[in-house]
Every structure is written in C-alpha cells, then in structure tokens.
Amino acid sequence: MRLPGHPHPRLPLPLAGQDEDMDAFLTWLGEAIPLVRHLGIRAMRWEGEALVWELALSPSLNDKGTGFGGALTAQATLLGWCWTTLWLRRQGRAQDVVVAEAGQRFLAPVSGDYRLVCRPERYDGPVQLAERLAAKGRGRLALVQQLWCGDTLCLEARGDYAVLP
C-alpha cells in the first residue's frame, strides 16, 4: 500500500537500443499511481511522435451517462506526463516530471469508448527540450491531447510539463 510522502521506486530504464515494454510500464504506473488502475486504460502505444491510449468509458461515467469531465481531464493530464516520462526514458534519462500548467476545452459529450492522443505542441519541442536538458539539466515541454470518440473530437487539452533536475 502506498503511503503519502513516500515516493514509489522508479522503473529501471530500458537497456540501450531496446523499446519500452508498454505493458510493464502500465503495470508500474498502476502501482506508482493507484488511480491508474481505475481509469479503464485498455492499451497504450506510440504512433510516430504521438502516444495513444485506448480507454473504456464505463469507469468514467457521469450522472448523464457520458464521460465525467474531471476524469477525462485527469486522463489527459496523466497522458502528457506519460509522454514526457517515456520520451525521457528513450533518452536514457530518469528524471521527475510534473505538470506545470494545464487547460482543456470540452467540445462534445463522450458517449462511448474512446482514445486519447498526445503529441508535442510544436514539432521541434522535443529537440528544444533535449537542448535545455543538456545545458541546464531541466526543461519544459508543451503537449496537446485530443480525445476522440469514434470520429468525433470531444476534448482538446494542453499542458506544460516540467522536467526537474
């Protein structure tokens, strides 16, 4: 059982040249952040520079039978944290990541299972982050998340994620 004030042990970095085991990462994430086990994440994968989650709606239902905005916002924020953390791990870096700023716009109700897609706000964002990390050991990256229910864009979110020294 996790206790407040006690950090969870880090997941070992993948060996150089090896891809991240996404199932192992999700298992670790559910141990590190117990809420994750209740989010309905079915799958996680990279699609180019985008990190994608497939999610079941049932754990995030509201009183109207659609997606609860607070749960959807938490998922978008956490997906950005995962993008940044996994990107760092690809670089062989084990650094802490925190969300510094986040916001969202709700565009349509979420009425079925959905997917969340996260990517850098700017195509050169990861390159700039790598340069800041090399120079200062810390940096910040802007990410955007989109929630799709079928072909309908239901939520757009943006977050700044800080990489701590």
Chain mean pLDDT for the chain: 95
| Token output for 4 | 């407040």
Residue 7 lies in a domain: no
- Segment 108-127 shows an average pLDDT of 97
DSSP3 helix / strand / coil % (the chain, rounded to 5): 30, 35, 35
- Segment 5-10 shows an average pLDDT of 91
pLDDT digits (tens, 9 = 90+) for 89-105: 999 999 999 999 999 99
- Segment 62-84 shows an average pLDDT of 97
- CA angle, 93 then 98 then 100, to 5°: 130
| Token output for 150 | 């079928």
Residue 117 lies in a domain: yes
Rounded to whole angstroms, the Cα distance separating 146 from 157 reads: 6
Q: What CATH number has the domain bearing residue 60?
A: 3.10.129.10
Helices (H), the chain: 22-32, 69-90, 125-136
Residue 59 lies in a domain: yes
Per-residue buried b or exposed e for 115-152, using 16+ beta carbons within 10 Å of the residue's own CB: ebbbbbeeeebbeebbeebeeeeebebbbbbbbebeee
- Residue 114: how many other CB atoms lie within 10 Å: 23
Domain interval for residue 66: 22-163
The pLDDT value given to residue 71: 96
| Token output for 165 | 């020294």
Rounded to whole angstroms, the Cα distance separating 147 from 73 reads: 10
Q: For the chain, how many structural domains are there in total?
A: 1
